[in-house]
């Protein structure tokens, strides 16, 4: 299928671009040179305590861990809400998950601080609370959109609940589920810039530092790479969505 080949190529290309982005982050001196040209009056134009590459890796680690938790919670939750046992809780859980997203991450950080202290743990909690909605709701929507005729056809051919789930429901819901993952991933990449407020690292570090001292060069040093990562991740996951079977 040509469409699939194209999607695979697109996915591979966007992964390659992500790799190139990290090569770019490694060019600390080049960033300094460009930012110095843009902001000649600033004495410090790059964050000096940690290299940009290290900050980017921290950022990816925070986002990766959050996203892992989001998937580990959101996918099973979405599946459960479409099973007989979970269906009664659909409305309740949906509003809880929406509330998680309605809460600004900064507020969640502030609230989590007294319980979990500084560091990575409250950051993960805030990011997971914030990013859970798209994955859960898309999982529910995707599974619910599988035509009941098809499910009955599967049962009529002798599929048990497991076979029906993996062979019919998952492939047909995959596109919608992946679309939710894509949204969550991009959200989380952007939102993770608040992490330094409570002592976690990442690309938010120069942004927060820059904001504190009114140094736009530092803000850009953090914001541009975050935007780049978000755009490229969106691109890669978009190609992955295109690979899922059409329903």
Partner 1 sequence: MIRFESVSKRFGDVLAVDDVTLHVPEGELVVLIGPSGCGKTTCLKMINRLVEPSAGRVLVNGRDVAHEDPQALRRGIGYVIQSVGLFPHLSVKQNVQVVPSLLGWPERESARRADELLAAVGLEPATYRDRYPRELSGGQQQRVGVARALAVDPPILLMDEPFGAVDPLTRERLQDEFLELQQRLRKTVVLVTHDIREAVKLADRVCLMNGGRIEQYATPEELLRRPRNRFVRQFVGSDRALTRLSRIRVSAVMESAAALDVRASVEAAEAALATNVSLYVTEDGALVGWLMLPALREAGSVQEGYTPLAPHQALTPSDDVREALSRMLELGVANLPVVDRSGRLVGQLGLEDVVTMTAPTEDAPGAAGGA
Binding site for partner 1 (CB under 8 A): 147, 149-150, 152-160, 163, 167-168, 171-172, 245-247
Beta-carbon-side half-sphere exposure of residue 231 (alpha carbons within 13 Å):
8
What separation in angstroms does the CA of 66 have from each of 60, 121, 178, 181?
Answer: 10, 10, 16, 12
Alpha carbons 199 and 39: distance in angstroms, whole number: 28
CB proximity list for 78: less than 8 A, separation 6 or greater: 135, 136, 137, 138, 139, 140, 143, 177
**141 vs 227 by CB, closer to partner 1:** 141
Alpha carbons 29 and 35: distance in angstroms, whole number: 10
Q: Least distance (Å) from partner 1 to the CB of residue 244?
A: 9
Q: Least distance (Å) from partner 1 to the CB of residue 231?
A: 30
**171 vs 199 by CB, closer to partner 1:** 171
Contact 59, 114 (CB under 8 A): no
Q: Least distance (Å) from partner 1 to the CB of residue 246?
A: 7
Burial of 22 (C-beta count, 10 Å sphere; 0-12/13-18/19+): middle
For Cα atoms 85, 86, 90, give the angle at the middle one, nearest 5 degrees: 150
Q: Least distance (Å) from partner 1 to the CB of residue 144?
A: 17
**12 vs 147 by CB, closer to partner 1:** 147
Alpha carbons 233 and 1: distance in angstroms, whole number: 25
Q: Least distance (Å) from partner 1 to the CB of residue 153?
A: 4
Residue 104 tokens read as 């600004």
**110 vs 141 by CB, closer to partner 1:** 141
**40 vs 156 by CB, closer to partner 1:** 156
Q: Least distance (Å) from partner 1 to the CB of residue 148?
A: 10
């Amino acid at each position: 299928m040509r469409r699939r080949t194209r999607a695979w190529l697109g996915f591979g290309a966007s992964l390659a671009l992500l790799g190139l982005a990290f090569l770019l982050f490694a060019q600390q001196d080049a960033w300094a040179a460009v930012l110095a040209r843009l902001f000649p009056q600033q004495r410090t134009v790059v964050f000096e305590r940690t290299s940009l590459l290290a900050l980017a890796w921290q950022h990816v680690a925070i986002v990766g861990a959050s996203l892992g938790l989001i998937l580990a919670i959101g996918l099973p939750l979405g599946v459960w809400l479409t099973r007989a046992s979970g269906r009664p809780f659909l409305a309740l859980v949906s509003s809880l998950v929406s509330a998680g997203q309605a809460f600004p991450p900064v507020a969640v950080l502030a609230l989590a601080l007294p319980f979990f202290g500084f560091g990575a743990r409250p950051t993960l909690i805030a990011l997971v609370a914030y990013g859970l909605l798209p994955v859960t709701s898309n999982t529910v929507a995707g599974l619910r959109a599988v035509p009941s005729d098809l499910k009955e056809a599967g049962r009529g051919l002798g599929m048990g609940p497991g076979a029906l789930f993996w062979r019919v429901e998952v492939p047909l819901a995959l596109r919608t589920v992946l679309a939710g993952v894509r949204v969550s991933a991009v959200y989380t990449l952007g939102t993770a810039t608040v992490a330094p407020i409570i002592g976690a690292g990442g690309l938010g570090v120069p942004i927060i530092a820059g904001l504190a001292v009114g140094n736009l060069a530092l803000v850009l040093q953090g914001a541009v790479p975050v935007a780049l990562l978000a755009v490229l991740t969106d691109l890669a996951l978009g190609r992955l969505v295109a690979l899922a079977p059409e329903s």
